[in-house]
């Protein structure tokens, strides 16, 4: 069973996770924007954090680097929050090989423990 990708919900979850990580590190929107190589304003960051604007891949990479935030774990947290239904997860699990299952199992444990963003 295939579901439609909800980019607005994804943008909202991604923005929320970025906002939480930024605040946890005590960085202002202006401070974060100033530390990026490609131009991005504090206003644009605010829109991204609210889920009102999409984030380019280049900006996402720059932001996670500036926040010292593992991209894979951030995206894992965002995607797990999508709350895929159980049958979809079961089908996807069956398609994974052993090493991929092990990596995913570790990721899920980190997320469940609330430390996925901080873990490497």
pLDDT tens for the 120 residues of the chain, in order: 445 677 888 898 899 999 999 999 999 999 999 988 888 999 999 999 999 999 999 999 999 999 998 988 788 878 776 555 556 667 778 888 989 889 888 887 777 666 544 433
> Where do the structural domains in the chain lie, given as residue ranges?
7-112
CA separation (Å) from 62 to 59, 66, 100, 106?
5, 6, 27, 26
CATH class of the domain comprising 7-112: mainly alpha
Q: Which of 50, 80, 52, 49 is nearest to 60 (CA)?
A: 49
- Measured between its terminal Cα atoms, the distance across the chain in Å is 32
pTM > 0.85: no
User: Residue 24 in contact with residue 116, Cβ under 8 Å?
Assistant: no
Give the model's pLDDT for residue 116: 45
Burial of 112: CB neighbours in 10 Å, binned 0-12, 13-18, 19+: exposed
């Amino acid at each position: 069973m295939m579901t439609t990708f909800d980019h607005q919900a994804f943008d909202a979850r991604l923005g929320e996770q970025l906002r939480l990580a930024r605040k946890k590190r005590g960085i202002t929107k202006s401070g974060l924007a100033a530390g990026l190589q490609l131009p991005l304003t504090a206003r644009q960051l605010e829109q991204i954090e609210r889920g009102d604007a999409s984030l380019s891949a280049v900006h996402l990479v720059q932001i996670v680097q500036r926040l010292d935030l593992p991209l894979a774990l951030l995206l894992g947290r965002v995607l797990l929050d999508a709350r895929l239904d159980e049958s979809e997860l079961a089908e996807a699990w069956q398609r994974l090989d052993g090493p991929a299952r092990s990596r995913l199992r570790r990721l899920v444990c980190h997320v469940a423990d609330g430390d996925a963003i901080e873990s490497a």
